[in-house]
Chains A and B, each alone.
Chain A
Amino acid sequence: MTAPLLEVQGLTKRFGGLVANDGVSFTLAAGEILGLIGPNGAGKTTLFNSLAGFFPPTSGRILLDGADVAGLPPERIAARGVARTFQIVRVFRSMTVVENAMVGVMLHTKAPRAAERLAREALAFAGLERRAGAPAAQLTVAEQKRLEVARALATRPRLLLLDEVMAGLTPAEVQDAVALVRNIRGRGIACIVVEHVMEGLMPLADRILVLDDGRKIADGTPAAVAADPAVIRAYLGEDHRAPGP
């Protein structure tokens, strides 16, 4: 087995007295899809923000291809091949759809003409090519989420962090989003997917990591995690027992 793309070791993030992430460790191989779940307040978004450079971790290491990137600012992390989307969409509202994607492309290709061509490719991949000329502010929520994905992909990442890209979508749109993430993996890009929409995540993830109260309580295949008593307790409370033998 080759060295993992991402290796997180003992990642801890404190905000004053609150421990949002407590010694979280996991690895991710190139092209793997890791689901990240947990009850509200479990520390999923904090973990994302640490990985993407928005929060410097209190302690622990984030090894990307063996180099520690913990504490680097977001723009440096992006330059090393980590892209993200935001839970609450943050498209550039004064720009057109293709201009949004161009900002992502420009990480590697600064010339606008070449950037526009590559941006259109990214939009086509995300199924947005017909909206290329529209102001980004006019897109539906589902389209804006796709635009965030297209824009992130335009930076040519090796690791994509997707923060609730399926939340608030209709069942049909969820299926489209699942297909999109599969296609992303098809390009060899690893994904970490934070999601509450289980019917979207379960068939998609190679592995699922469960956080509760800042700590990792499970890490395994979707089937194994779904049957894990600790996970069931975390979601349903102490009194519930998994039915069965």
Chain B
Amino acid sequence: MRGGRARAAAICGAAAVAILLPLALRQPTARNTLVLMLMLAQLGVAWNILGGYAGQMSLGHAAFYGTGAYVSTALLLRLGISPWLGMAAGAAAATALALVVGWPCFRLRGHYFAMATIAVGEIVQAIATNWDAIGGAVGLTLPVEERGLAGFVFNVSRLPYYYIALGLLALTLLVNWAVVRSHLGYYFRAIKDEPDAARALGVSLTRYKLAAIALSAALTAAGGTLYAQKELYIDPGSVLSTGLSIRISLAAILGGVGTISGPVLGAVVLTGIDEASRTVFGGTGRGTDLVVYGLLIVLIALFRPEGLVGLFRAPRRGQGAGRAGGAPGGTP
């Protein structure tokens, strides 16, 4: 199992770098960029369960993200419930939303499903914008005093946000890995490749697509709670916009759909482009990041349709190689 050992070494190395990196980078903006990378990576990995493995292209994931952010924040502001419990409640609420929305939307295939998810995202955003009990268009402001780990607010040092984001990413990767190795992963990929053939083998499309969207939504919502606790301010534009939905899917698509590490890579590159264009062009260059995104997507589509992960992957081995079973679709 040389491949297995190399992979274990790579994972340990990446983890060590991730843990030590913010200690080396002491500048607040640089650290903040790292947190943003981790947060987008976590969302991309969560999206990938549904969009990458199961092949159901969602462009409405902000609905789940916003649900997580709003549920935990509302529970905190109104009932004084800990954001950690709020995170679980937000994940549960997003799962419920995913099941309710998924039921009708999964009757649609391909582009039609993607369009329906855009509509869902827009509807949820419109509801939040007009719902005064949760702040409407003004949004919700969270108390800013330092509360430590139990209260999930850190101002003295913002380093804890980094490690919480890293922990959440690790958890999401772990869930993704467990899903991919279980029968769920095989069924998701079967549904993506040939839905009718999957049905003929006893795979209920509805049941397994709902499983994929429920897992994906719950993890995405947890990311939303983290955002609310980090920024201490949420409004529909920041946590429910379709632009955010697209960004989440883009991280996975750019990095490589249906791979475990692809969305992480995509998130690092996307966030890097954002921050670089902001530094280079300042306030006047709004939109340059979009130009660079566009260029990047064209280049990826032309030269590496499997995503940035393809740059690091050895060329496909010949037939009969023993890649069977053990490591489905997973990589580096």
Residues of A within 8 A of B (CB): 52-54, 73-75, 78-79, 83-84, 86, 90-99, 102-104, 106-107, 110-113, 115-116, 119, 130-135, 138, 148, 151-152, 154-155
Alpha-carbon gap, A94 to B321, bound state (A): 15
B192 touches A94 (CB 8 A): yes
Which residues does chain A contribute within 8 Å of B187, judged by CB atoms?
A: 103, 106
Contacting residue for B202 out of A75, A92, A138, CB 8 A: A75
Could you give 30 example pairs across A and B, Cβ below 8 Å? A52-B200, A54-B196, A75-B203, A75-B205, A78-B199, A79-B202, A90-B194, A90-B197, A92-B194, A93-B194, A94-B193, A95-B190, A95-B329, A96-B323, A99-B325, A103-B187, A107-B202, A112-B325, A119-B325, A130-B320, A131-B319, A131-B320, A132-B324, A133-B324, A135-B316, A135-B319, A148-B197, A151-B201, A152-B200, A155-B202
Alpha-carbon gap, A154 to B197, bound state (A): 13
Residues of B within 8 A of A (CB): 181-183, 186-187, 189-190, 192-194, 196-205, 258, 316, 319-325, 328-329
Alpha-carbon gap, A134 to B322, bound state (A): 8
Which residues does chain A contribute within 8 Å of B196, judged by CB atoms?
A: 54, 74, 86, 90
Contacting residue for B183 out of A115, A151, A155, CB 8 A: A115
A102-B325, A134-B321 given; name 16 further pairs at CB < 8 Å.
A54-B196, A54-B199, A54-B200, A78-B199, A78-B202, A83-B200, A86-B196, A90-B194, A93-B194, A94-B329, A95-B329, A103-B186, A106-B201, A110-B182, A112-B181, A131-B319
5 A-B pairs with least C-beta separation = A78-B202, A107-B202, A134-B319, A90-B197, A74-B199
Distance to closest chain B CB from A211 (angstroms): 22
A94 touches B186 (CB 8 A): no
Alpha-carbon gap, A79 to B201, bound state (A): 8
Alpha-carbon gap, A152 to B202, bound state (A): 10
Contacting residue for B203 out of A95, A103, A135, CB 8 A: A103
Which residues does chain A contribute within 8 Å of B324, judged by CB atoms?
A: 96-99, 116, 132-133
Which residues does chain B contribute within 8 Å of A92, judged by CB atoms?
A: 189-190, 193-194, 197-198
Contacting residue for B204 out of A75, A86, A91, A98, CB 8 A: A75
A99 touches B186 (CB 8 A): yes
Which residues does chain A contribute within 8 Å of B199, judged by CB atoms?
A: 53-54, 73-75, 78
B183 touches A110 (CB 8 A): yes
Select the residue from B183, B196, B320 with max chain A CB neighbours within 10 A: B183
Asked, given contacts A92-B194, A112-B182, whether A74 binds B200 with beta carbons under 8 Å apart, the answer is yes
Contacting residue for A112 out of B183, B189, B205, CB 8 A: B183
Alpha-carbon gap, A151 to B201, bound state (A): 8
Alpha-carbon gap, A119 to B187, bound state (A): 15
Alpha-carbon gap, A123 to B36, bound state (A): 47
Which residues does chain A contribute within 8 Å of B204, judged by CB atoms?
A: 73, 75
Asked, given contacts A112-B186, A115-B183, A133-B323, whether A95 binds B201 with beta carbons under 8 Å apart, the answer is no
Distance to closest chain A CB from B173 (angstroms): 19
Closest B residue by C-beta to A85: B200
Which residues does chain B contribute within 8 Å of A104, judged by CB atoms?
A: 201
Contacting residue for A133 out of B181, B203, B258, B319, CB 8 A: B319
Select the residue from B189, B201, B202, B322 with max chain A CB neighbours within 10 A: B201
Asked, given contacts A92-B193, A92-B194, whether A133 binds B200 with beta carbons under 8 Å apart, the answer is no
A95 touches B193 (CB 8 A): yes
Alpha-carbon gap, A74 to B203, bound state (A): 9
Distance to closest chain B CB from A11 (angstroms): 19
Which residues does chain A contribute within 8 Å of B329, judged by CB atoms?
A: 94-95
Alpha-carbon gap, A195 to B120, bound state (A): 47
Contacting residue for B321 out of A110, A119, A133, A154, CB 8 A: A133
Alpha-carbon gap, A148 to B200, bound state (A): 11
B325 touches A98 (CB 8 A): yes
B325 touches A116 (CB 8 A): yes
B323 touches A78 (CB 8 A): no
Distance to closest chain A CB from B78 (angstroms): 42
Which residues does chain A contribute within 8 Å of B190, judged by CB atoms?
A: 92, 95, 103
Alpha-carbon gap, A78 to B205, bound state (A): 13
Select the residue from A74, A79, A155 with max chain B CB neighbours within 10 A: A74
Which residues does chain B contribute within 8 Å of A97, judged by CB atoms?
A: 324
A103 touches B323 (CB 8 A): no
Asked, given contacts A94-B189, A112-B181, A132-B324, whether A86 binds B319 with beta carbons under 8 Å apart, the answer is no
Closest A residue by C-beta to B322: A133
Alpha-carbon gap, A187 to B77, bound state (A): 66
Select the residue from B190, B316, B321, B324 with max chain A CB neighbours within 10 A: B324
Distance to closest chain A CB from B38 (angstroms): 28
